Structure 1
Amino acid sequence: MKKWFYTSVLVSVVCPALAQSTRLQGVIRDRSNGEPLPGATIAAGVHKTTTKADGRFSVLADSLPVPVIISMIGYRPDTILVRDASQSLAVSLIAQSGMMSDVVVTGTMKAVSKMASPVPVEVYTPQFFRRNPTPSIFDALQQVNGVRPQLNCNICNTGDIHINGLEGPYTMVLIDGMPIVSSLSSVYGLSGIPNSLVERIEVVKGPASSLYGSEAIGGLINVITKNPLKAPLVAVDVSGTTWGEYNVDAAVKFKPGRKVTSLLGVNYFNFTNRVDKNDDGFTDVTLQNRISLFNKYSFQRKEGRAANIAVRYVYEDRWGGDMRWTKFFRGGDSLYAESIYTSRVEVIGNYQLPVKEKLLFSYSFNRHTQRSVYGTTAFNANQKVGFGQLTWDKTLGAHDLLAGAVLRYTYYDDNTVATEDSLANRNKPERTALPGILVQDEIKLDTRSNLLLGARWDYHPVHGHIFTPRAAWKYSATPNDVIRVNAGTGFRVVNLFTEDHAALTGARKVVVDGELKPERSYNVNVNYVKKMAVGSGWVNVDASVWYTYFTNRILPSYKPDTIEYHNLTGYSVSQGASVNVEFAFTNSLRGHIGATWQDVIIANKDSLGVKTRTQQILTEKWSGNWSLSYTLPRAGWVIDYTGNIYGPMGLPLTSDKDPRPDRSPVWSIQNIQLTKKLGHGMEIYGGIKNLLNWTPAKNVPFLIARANDPFDKRPDVDNPYNLTFDPNYVYAPNQGMRGFLGFRLTMN
């Protein structure tokens, strides 16, 4: 009888409550630009939810009217009294004093808010890069202040990433924190990362070898891929240009198991249109056919422990050269071209051990195969890199500790003297095991300041023990005023034939003067961040000054018939200052303006002991970039205007009589884009790239030296300037004005 009584009471209480419950739906956006805000928290009484990738939400309410509280880090919370659930809610949040408080991991290997990090880290989202859409991350990085994608060849358009004036080999590129793109792949590996899978890109300027080891000597770029749990169900981006470039980016999320979520991405880029607008008989832009596949799995585990694994495959066929060239002429001396086949496999993952302590094992493996010819010079190389890292993360009072053990194994083989055993007259692949340990302690000194101390020890089988310490101090004068001072060291072991394209092309002979020692760097960086609320919007100012001192630096000396490589007997210095200003206003205007001044000098002694100071070639003294966006929320239109400007830089000539300028002019590439949001996750975009139609061929007699005699068969015929064939006089893209059109679809 009692059982029936209690059941009746429970039903009489619960049923009316259920009868009164209703579901509220809506979308949350940024008031300054109308962009959806994923991850915002919606609370309707006791019920809570978060917005999806498109800013939409659905939440229960026990009764009406009900106060709905909307909140998000970096934005002013808002409360709305909802009386009627029949209409969808549309809420616009106002940024408090800047952008969202981004979470960064690159500076300390720990997830911390950007403002709390003692190491200055710049964060860029896909929305930032969409203001000037590009088919690869290599091209997209031109929008980052102080970072410049540098083309190294007029024919095959190989490139690397310069940070603060330092060449590509000084920049380490990570994918999800793993050193994937390096050495052999530093030239060709950056183009095959699908943009649709990128969650954000973190940039650290200055040495980071105390955490990441060799190659992180000038800075690093960490490409963070999307978490499959938070990714859209489907994302598609298709675009084309009037030059005949076609790009397809697609990603789909699915669940192969109850506790497994997968994200599959495909990128295909095709450009097969032969263009020669400067009339030198050679292609202005390299022809490419590239496909990249990416598949990432995330596993749900007890207590939220991490477990992820990703696989990526890239294949690319690229060539540039004589407009009449076909693959029949590959490797011959009839028609000149540079043809490269690249095949690359990567595995990246991490696994948090099922123990009480926070132990994370991260690992990666990549295999890079390259089959290439530069005229008649064949360069065939194979590289395999395995990487494993176990870190222990522990907080003890005011100390936030990180310790780890690292092992990196590299197998490298090619058909050059780099892997040749001259005594035994046989090939001898390089096999290098590089173990290391690292330790880091972030000490909370008081409520306003933190001190970070770190060090790493590596053992190289040829160069022995390598020690790289660092220190960082952060002081928060106010929550919106932060000062950071960083000091650290870096090192790099060099392989010329995998890093310097000039060692493989042209007719110059390569000369290596003695055994090359590892390069070392010593850096000091001061950073200041100011966030301000201005009227109906906000302004962020991020300014830095830096000084980096190099010893044993290896630089090429260009002579008429040789390229000589050797360690400097002196030193090299990279110093400069940069400032980024980011802003947004409720009148739908937002954007950023950046400027960098840098001075990269080389101080060396000649054979007579005379010291000389010269400016590093292919390095601009100053540069600037900008992006301005204006949104018409009601009409669904967005206008983006982006651009870069660069100061003069020294250029490599082939002889004292070379008629080409030894310095580049001031040059600028500017773009405009119009985007129409169609609703239901669809949008179309289009515009014009290189509005000024600027190319380096203007006001220059020729770009490629002796293009009429690429194999130097007739060096004394029609050669008044005593030149030899050389395609390395390049500092900017040869592509002029072009239109583009694209379509995006996002489904959640």
Structure 2
Amino acid sequence: MFTKSTLALAVILAMQSPLVAAHSKETRAASQQQAAEEEMETIEVRGVRQRLEKAGVLTDSIMKTEIVSAELIENKNAVNLTEAIDNTPGVRVSNECSMCGVKRIMLNGLRGEQTTLLVDGLPVHAMIAGYYAVDAIPTTGVDRIEVARGAGASLIAPEAIGGTINVITKTATENAATVDVSVGEDGNRKIGILGTGISEDGKTRATLIAQYDARDQVDEDNNLVNEAPSQENRTFTARLSHDLTDKDNLTLRYSNVDSEIIGGPMIGAEFADGVASSIGTIIAGYDGVDSDLLFDGSDVRNDFVGKAWETTEWIHTQRDEVTLSWLRELNDDLNMTLSGVYSDHSQDSFYEGFRYYAEDTMMYFDARFNYFLNASHLLTFGVDHRTEEMRSQSSGEVAAPDKYVSDSFDYDTLGFYLQDTWQATDALEIAMALRYDNVQADFIDPKKPGKEIDKSILAPRVDIRYSHNDEWTSRLSAGRGYRAPLSFFETDHGILDADLGFAIDIDELERSTSATYALSYAGNDLTMTTSLAWTEVEHLASLTETDEGIPLLTQLDEKAAVTTADIALGYDLTDDLTLGFTAEGFFYDDAFKSSYAIAPVEERLTLNADYLIGGWDIFANLVWVGSRDLSEYGYEGYNQVDGNGNVIESSKKSTDAPSYWTLDLKVTKAITDNIDFYAGVNNLFDYTQVNEGETPLFFDTDGGYDVAYIWGPLRGREVYAGFKAEF
């Protein structure tokens, strides 16, 4: 019925339901390229891996996937992963702490820990890696970012209840180098270096990536406490791909990340315990004695007058990643890929007097086979094994050794998977996948005997793509997923009152069921994708506390559900002007609302334009976020307490979060054939919740101080300029 190359092309091209935004010109060009490729029987590429990727036999899904291209990343002047994917349809990057700036990447309205991060299709991030240092994942050397929403979005990541973010590294195609340097307000600075090289025989390809970026603290209300912390990131990545034979390819990747976040008191200011000259000085000055008064007049809107350490949050993250992948084409019908991953992630941190250190080591192995059963069926099958050890130490072990329970854990999964990609007709493709996993999770503290989780689970998924005609395409996906809730940092960025340790009441996997329908249109000038997604989760992790005030990681009894709907349009008004529009709605039930630490987005509009005129490229991105009732998400706080530490009712904070607009602009000018100058401004309207009169600092109903009354932007207007040179 079909040749094998036609089937393989259909599999990989079916994935490309691109992000419809200011880069719709790319989309149309890709569609034209797709049409041309589908008429070809032979595809010529330079490497074994590139040839099989082009043929499609390395893909494992035909589901709807948004593509964030390198061009769009550059247009947004995105320094890191969170900036690159924010405001992509179905994606929300949630800032969940004004002190440490922890980010969570939410897909389809689900929580950040339910998103799995992949690099070149492999899971290199351990469980605690998703809370800090996602801002340290650089955009230098990124070819594209693939956003796949829904449970079981990847054969090797069934724990991705919300979906997967797959960062694809640039593959060397020539000997070249790129340097990108920019500076801006609030200490914004970035240096990105990319080098690629190919051996004379074309069998060896190397990619070297280095990036340094930094940003200073921001104190919009000048009360000596920041609303956004300083951050300094250094990353280095080396990727080597070598064709051992005409049928063998070996790819080795190494990456090192070093990130430091300093939040709380403004560095250089004077406090009750002296000048906060550096983070070392602040931590060394910790004496364990709380100040009688934190803010002038006990009002968080006034100057901070306590000791610097009492509002300090410092996180130093270091991560080493090593991946090795061997691809072998056994014959025309069968190929295999053997992959191994090693990741070592350490976090040293100080949370307002509570010191916490954790090291998370992960090893992952995958053996995968792709087999053409016949002209209509492509089978993908394999086995993978993941082991993870997290070991932590904290000040709580000293403060209360008789009560302290460590949150250290062991995590082990062994899985088998099978997928059949069936070209049923010219118009209909179906991918049916099934995973079987044995999952074991054990909190290893002697006070927690036995394994908390020892489960076997089946996770099925089906993806269907139907081409109504040359312009209209439907996609339907449904599946189940699971994940083990193991870290307190999933539900709270830092356990600030954990001197008594941690209480753990976890004995079930989070289990999800999801379904997504998407309808796409691709015309000459107009592109459109609209989708509807529903996800239900049982045994959702939740953070409460015991009667003694000990943080308790537990699970909800009731099921929680969220539904999302979105439509994205792209239109080429002229050959030089492209417009984009996206509208999104997120609908959470009460159980899901109760689980969020920060109120998520409910309504969002995005409008963008890319205009080429007289050698200038002008890019604009306008975002509207709708109003929200914060009381539905458990918000309750006060700006002031009296002399006895009781809240003053008249200072109660508003629970009505207003709608707001933000606008980003960037202008690029080609100075020579290989040098571009650019300048831009983020948040041109200078809109922040602090400028609206609402600091993220607050007192809770018991008079305790906290830092996460967040509903809007915390960084104001930032102007920048830079240049990019290619050699």
Deviation at 1:668, TM superposition (A): 2.2
The alpha-carbon distance between structure 1 residues 214 and 378, as it changes in their structure 2 partners (threshold 3 A), is farther
The alpha-carbon distance between structure 1 residues 642 and 311, as it changes in their structure 2 partners (threshold 3 A), is same
After superposition, where does 1:162-311 map in structure 2 within 5 Å? 162-208=106-152, 211-228=155-172, 230=173, 233-255=176-198, 259-271=203-215, 273-303=216-246, 305-311=248-254
RMSD, aligned CA:
3.6
Matched, 1:680 2:661: no
Q: 2:386 aligns with which of 401, 404, 408?
A: 408
SS state of the match for residue 328, structure 1? helix
Q: Which residue in the other structure is 2:515 paired with?
A: 524
Q: 1:157 aligns with which of 101, 119, 123?
A: 101
Deviation at 1:174, TM superposition (A): 0.5
Q: 2:575 aligns with which of 565, 575, 587?
A: 587
Q: Which residue in the other structure is 1:29 paired with?
A: none
Q: Which residue in the other structure is 2:363 paired with?
A: 386
How many residue pairs get aligned? The number is 629
SS state of the match for residue 420, structure 2? strand
Q: Which residue in the other structure is 1:337 paired with?
A: 312
Q: Which residue in the other structure is 1:566 paired with?
A: 554
Matched, 1:129 2:73: yes
Contact 1:123/1:203, CA 8 A, preserved across alignment: yes
After superposition, where does 1:689-700 map in structure 2 within 5 Å? 689-700=682-693
Q: Quick one: distance in 2 between partners of 1:617 and 1:567?
A: 18
- In proportion to residue count, which structure has more helix? 2
Question: Which residues of structure 2 form unaligned runs of 5+?
Answer: 1-20, 39-49, 270-275, 289-306, 441-452, 639-646
Matched AA of 2:148? V
Q: Quick one: distance in 2 between partners of 1:35 and 1:161?
A: 24
Contact 2:637/2:653, CA 8 A, preserved across alignment: no
Q: Which residue in the other structure is 1:455 paired with?
A: 434
Q: Deviations over 1:468-491 (max 9, x none)?
A: 011122211112211111110011
Deviation at 1:575, TM superposition (A): 0.7
Deviation at 1:515, TM superposition (A): 2.7
Q: 2:622 aligns with which of 619, 643, 650?
A: 643
The alpha-carbon distance between structure 1 residues 76 and 439, as it changes in their structure 2 partners (threshold 3 A), is closer
Q: Deviations over 1:36-95 (max 9, x none)?
A: 999x99xxxxxxxxxxxxxxxxxxxxxxxxxxxxx9446899xxxxxxxxxxxxxxxxxx
Q: Quick one: distance in 2 between partners of 1:401 and 1:551?
A: 31
Q: Which residue in the other structure is 2:322 paired with?
A: 347
Deviation at 1:592, TM superposition (A): 2.0
Q: Deviations over 1:17-43 (max 9, x none)?
A: xxxxxxxxxxxxxxx9999999x99xx
TM-score (norm 2): 0.79
The alpha-carbon distance between structure 1 residues 74 and 696, as it changes in their structure 2 partners (threshold 3 A), is farther
Q: Quick one: distance in 1 between partners of 2:23 and 2:97?
A: 42
Q: 1:491 aligns with which of 479, 482, 490?
A: 482
Contact 2:73/2:139, CA 8 A, preserved across alignment: no
Deviation at 1:526, TM superposition (A): 0.7
Deviation at 1:565, TM superposition (A): 4.1
Contact 1:660/1:700, CA 8 A, preserved across alignment: no
Question: Which residues of structure 1 form unaligned runs of 5+?
Answer: 1-31, 42-70, 78-101, 605-611, 707-718
SS state of the match for residue 86, structure 2? helix
Q: Quick one: distance in 2 between partners of 1:376 and 1:425?
A: 17
Q: Deviations over 1:422-461 (max 9, x none)?
A: 9998979533321111000011221111222111011112
Contact 1:33/1:630, CA 8 A, preserved across alignment: no
SS state of the match for residue 570, structure 1? coil
Matched AA of 1:540? T
The alpha-carbon distance between structure 1 residues 132 and 296, as it changes in their structure 2 partners (threshold 3 A), is same
Matched AA of 1:528? L
Matched, 1:110 2:58: yes
Contact 2:404/2:499, CA 8 A, preserved across alignment: no
Q: Deviations over 1:556-584 (max 9, x none)?
A: 45999776543221111111211111222
Matched AA of 1:395? F
The alpha-carbon distance between structure 1 residues 682 and 353, as it changes in their structure 2 partners (threshold 3 A), is same
Contact 1:502/1:728, CA 8 A, preserved across alignment: no
Contact 1:183/1:499, CA 8 A, preserved across alignment: no
The alpha-carbon distance between structure 1 residues 231 and 342, as it changes in their structure 2 partners (threshold 3 A), is farther
The alpha-carbon distance between structure 1 residues 299 and 642, as it changes in their structure 2 partners (threshold 3 A), is same
Deviation at 1:141, TM superposition (A): 1.4
Contact 1:503/1:510, CA 8 A, preserved across alignment: no
Deviation at 1:111, TM superposition (A): 4.0
Please identify the structure whose Cα radius of gyration is greater. Answer: 1
Matched AA of 2:74? R
Contact 2:120/2:166, CA 8 A, preserved across alignment: yes
The alpha-carbon distance between structure 1 residues 625 and 105, as it changes in their structure 2 partners (threshold 3 A), is farther
After superposition, where does 1:509-520 map in structure 2 within 5 Å? 512=503, 514-520=505-511
Q: Quick one: distance in 2 between partners of 1:742 and 1:532?
A: 36
Contact 2:498/2:551, CA 8 A, preserved across alignment: no
Q: Deviations over 1:105-156 (max 9, x none)?
A: 89x98349xxxx6311111111012222022111221141221111111011
Quick one: percent identity of the two aligned structures? 20
Structure 1 range deviating more: 340-349 or 423-432: 423-432
Q: Which residue in the other structure is 2:491 paired with?
A: 500
Matched AA of 2:583? A
Q: Deviations over 1:636-683 (max 9, x none)?
A: 101111122212343533479561222422122211111101232210
TM-score (norm 1): 0.77
Q: Which residue in the other structure is 2:708 paired with?
A: 728
The alpha-carbon distance between structure 1 residues 578 and 73, as it changes in their structure 2 partners (threshold 3 A), is same
Matched AA of 2:529? D
Q: Which residue in the other structure is 1:552 paired with?
A: 539
Q: Quick one: distance in 2 between partners of 1:109 and 1:169?
A: 30
Deviation at 1:596, TM superposition (A): 0.9
The alpha-carbon distance between structure 1 residues 687 and 701, as it changes in their structure 2 partners (threshold 3 A), is closer
Contact 1:452/1:471, CA 8 A, preserved across alignment: yes
